């Protein structure tokens, strides 16, 4: 939790402020540390140390002074307090969410756009890369820069213009002192509100977590995939013999924001039958590990390469399940942005599961937009290429591309006819083709199939199928191509899939490309220089175990 108040003139004044914020009685002992920009903490106890911290802060022209507080006394100035929890460090992938407390408000940072205005300066809040602070109690929304200027208590409607003089007090507590942070919540509720997710515990450099999992708890059986981030392994949990897919991510290659988003989406995906869910997370000195549902039927790219094209009935089944997955994500404000044949997995019965949430965007509501340029070139929607703001419509465009590939056997922007021209073989030409080239649709397709492809591949997102706010999925369901689909049965996975993967091989490995499964099952040795340069605080709080998975394994 953080709060703001006027510069204390004395150490005793700072202590009084601390006691007021956490509702501590006069007998409660606590330690206050000043945290400098590199993350190192220094005790603030006598008046001289407080004045030194304030002086250095002013010399550096810092707008705020960051302070940690723990509800106990350290044995030695260089030793952390027994109750201190390092997971509050900023930048941690999946770390606790801070509450910024000002005059009864409990502001929480939100990283998404809102069609609202700041209650202090009246400018619009949100936008790409801009944080919005929203009170978890009264739902007041303000800019990050304005939250310290809120002088009216939580629940009042008008906001005076007189700003407060901010001194940022970032605190981290556990035990009895934490129960007093949100004044109207119990200790457990407060912990859940600050945490925002069910963490399994904290980690040291070994990657083993309290009551949790580590690499030593799994048998590594085979490589089943690879990307720029690392490998995907088929593993077996020793204590239960259950099979999982383990995604390894090298810390030196990782974007912590993307890791945080991927983990959060994976946690929500566990409740959807058409999305790959999360079993657990843990880490070592050099890597992050996601333990995921193992989907043993292989990906749709592998099967399409063997069959060349799919019948319309098959494409209808798969695209209906993909649409249900999209609807689940969109209802929760998640933009997927990564649909392609490689990310469409088949389970042992033949049902679809989407995977790989590393470029998802969270926090979007119907009508909200974002503008990050990301995705696979062949599947980029025209509005992304044009550099325009875009919303959920880009997912429906990618579904159109995938449906075309399933029924026609190649990309709608296939460049084979461009061989011999270096420019036309470039990414630039591909993007230009997506923007301008007419899409060829074979005559062998039915009228309904032609219609749905044209609707999904409409370059105008306002006219594209699925793009009407609040009614997009309804429009998809009512399109003639999907008229024969029983959506309720489809959602309950009661419709028999048109194709069942071959499961005769051990663990379903025959459904994965041999270029992966023939690789030796090992992790590359750690580079000691890179490990030494890794800031472990960036990944504190990453560990997680899905409670449902624990229940199923008992």
Question: What is the spatial distance between Cα 21 and Cα 102, in angstroms, rounded to a whole number?
Answer: 10
Comma-separated ranges of CATH 3.30.200.20 domains in the chain:
215-296+529-553
Q: Which helix (H) or strand (E) holds 323?
A: helix 312-331
DSSP 235: E
226 known ligand binder: yes
Question: What is the spatial distance between Cα 327 and Cα 321, in angstroms, rounded to a whole number?
Answer: 10
367 known ligand binder: no
Comma-separated ranges of CATH 1.10.510.10 domains in the chain:
300-491
Question: What is the spatial distance between Cα 184 and Cα 16, in angstroms, rounded to a whole number?
Answer: 21
Contact 4, 148 (CB under 8 A): yes
4 known ligand binder: no
Contact 458, 425 (CB under 8 A): no
229 known ligand binder: yes
Q: Structure pTM?
A: 0.64
> pLDDT, tens digit, for every residue of 130-184?
457 888 878 788 887 788 788 777 865 444 433 333 333 333 333 333 222 233 3
Partners of 237 in the β-ladder: 218
Closest CA to 433 of 418, 421, 419: 418
Q: Which helix (H) or strand (E) holds 234?
A: strand 230-237
Closest CA to 120 of 99, 138, 135, 141: 141
DSSP 77: T
387 known ligand binder: no
Question: What is the spatial distance between Cα 465 and Cα 459, in angstroms, rounded to a whole number?
Answer: 11
Contact 94, 81 (CB under 8 A): no
pLDDT, position 56: 60
pLDDT, position 380: 96
232 known ligand binder: yes
* Topology given in CATH for the domain delimited by 215-296+529-553: Phosphorylase Kinase; domain 1 (3.30.200)
98-102-103-106 Cα dihedral, nearest 10 degrees: -30
SS3 346: strand
Partners of 41 in the β-ladder: 35
352 known ligand binder: no
Q: How far apart are the first and last CA of the chain?
A: 36
Assigned superfamily of 300-491: Transferase(Phosphotransferase) domain 1 (1.10.510.10)
Look up residue 196 and give its two tokens.
């925002």
SS3 144: helix
247 known ligand binder: yes
224 known ligand binder: yes
Q: Which residues contact 492 (CB under 8 A, 6 or more apart)?
A: none
Comma-separated ranges of CATH 3.10.20.90 domains in the chain:
2-195
Question: What is the spatial distance between Cα 432 and Cα 437, in angstroms, rounded to a whole number?
Answer: 8
Partners of 100 in the β-ladder: 2, 107
pLDDT, position 69: 64
Residues of the chain below pLDDT 50: 37-40, 76-79, 85-96, 112-114, 127-130, 157-210, 418-419, 423-424
Q: Among 3.40.50.300, 3.30.10.20, 3.40.50.2300, 3.10.20.90, what is the CATH number of 2-195? A: 3.10.20.90
């Amino acid at each position: 939790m953080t709060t703001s108040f006027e510069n204390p003139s004395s150490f005793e004044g700072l202590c009084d402020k601390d006691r007021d914020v956490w509702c501590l009685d006069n007998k409660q002992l606590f330690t206050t540390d000043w945290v400098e920009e590199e993350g190192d903490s220094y005790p603030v106890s006598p008046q001289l140390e407080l004045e030194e911290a304030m002086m250095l802060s002013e010399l550096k022209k810092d707008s705020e002074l960051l302070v940690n507080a723990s509800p106990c006394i350290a044995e030695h100035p260089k030793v952390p307090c027994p109750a201190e929890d390092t997971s509050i460090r900023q930048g941690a992938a999946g770390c606790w969410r801070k509450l910024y407390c000002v005059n009864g408000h409990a502001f929480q940072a939100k990283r998404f756009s809102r069609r609202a205005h700041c209650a202090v300066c009246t400018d619009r809040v949100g936008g790409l890369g801009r944080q919005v602070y929203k009170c978890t109690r009264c739902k007041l929304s303000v800019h990050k820069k304005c939250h310290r200027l809120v002088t009216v208590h939580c629940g009042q409607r008008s906001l005076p213009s007189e700003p407060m003089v901010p001194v940022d007090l970032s605190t981290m507590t556990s035990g009895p002192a934490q129960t007093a942070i949100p004044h109207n919540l119990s200790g457990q509720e407060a912990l859940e509100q600050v945490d925002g997710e069910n963490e399994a515990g904290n980690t040291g450099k070994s990657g083993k977590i309290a009551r949790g999992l580590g690499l030593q708890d799994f048998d590594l059986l085979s490589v089943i995939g690879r990307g720029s981030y690392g490998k995907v392994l088929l593993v077996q949990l020793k204590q239960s013999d259950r099979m999982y897919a383990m995604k390894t991510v090298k810390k030196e290659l990782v974007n912590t924001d993307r890791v945080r988003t991927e983990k959060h989406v994976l946690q929500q995906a566990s409740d959807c039958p058409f999305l790959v869910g999360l079993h657990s997370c843990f880490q070592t000195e050099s890597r992050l590990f996601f333990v995921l549902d193992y989907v043993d039927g292989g990906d749709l790219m592998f099967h399409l390469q063997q069959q060349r094209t799919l019948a319309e009935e098959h494409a209808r089944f798969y695209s209906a399940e993909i649409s249900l997955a999209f609807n689940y994500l969109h209802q929760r404000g998640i933009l997927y942005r990564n649909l392609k044949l490689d990310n469409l997995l088949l389970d042992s019965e033949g049902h679809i599961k989407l995977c790989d949430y590393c470029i998802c965007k969270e926090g979007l509501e119907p009508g909200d937009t974002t503008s990050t340029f990301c995705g696979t070139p062949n599947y980029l929607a025209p509005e992304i290429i044009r550099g325009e703001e875009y919303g959920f419509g880009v997912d429906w465009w990618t579904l159109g591309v995938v449906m075309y590939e399933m029924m026609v056997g190649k990309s709608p922007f296939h460049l084979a006819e461009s061989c011999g021209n270096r420019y036309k073989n470039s990414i630039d030409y591909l993007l230009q083709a997506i923007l301008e080239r007419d899409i060829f649709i074979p005559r062998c397709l039915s009228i309904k199939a032609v219609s749905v492809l044209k609707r999904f591949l409409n370059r105008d997102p306002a006219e594209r199928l699925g793009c009407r706010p609040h009614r997009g999925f309804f429009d998809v369901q009512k399109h003639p191509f999907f008229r024969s689909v029983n959506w309720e049965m489809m959602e309950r996975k009661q419709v028999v899939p048109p194709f069942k993967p071959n499961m005769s091989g051990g663990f379903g490995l025959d459904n994965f490309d041999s270029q992966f499964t023939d690789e030796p099952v090992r992790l590359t040795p750690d580079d000691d220089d890179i490990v030494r340069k890794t800031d472990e605080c960036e990944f504190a709080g990453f560990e997680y175990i899905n409670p449902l998975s624990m229940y199923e394994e008992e």
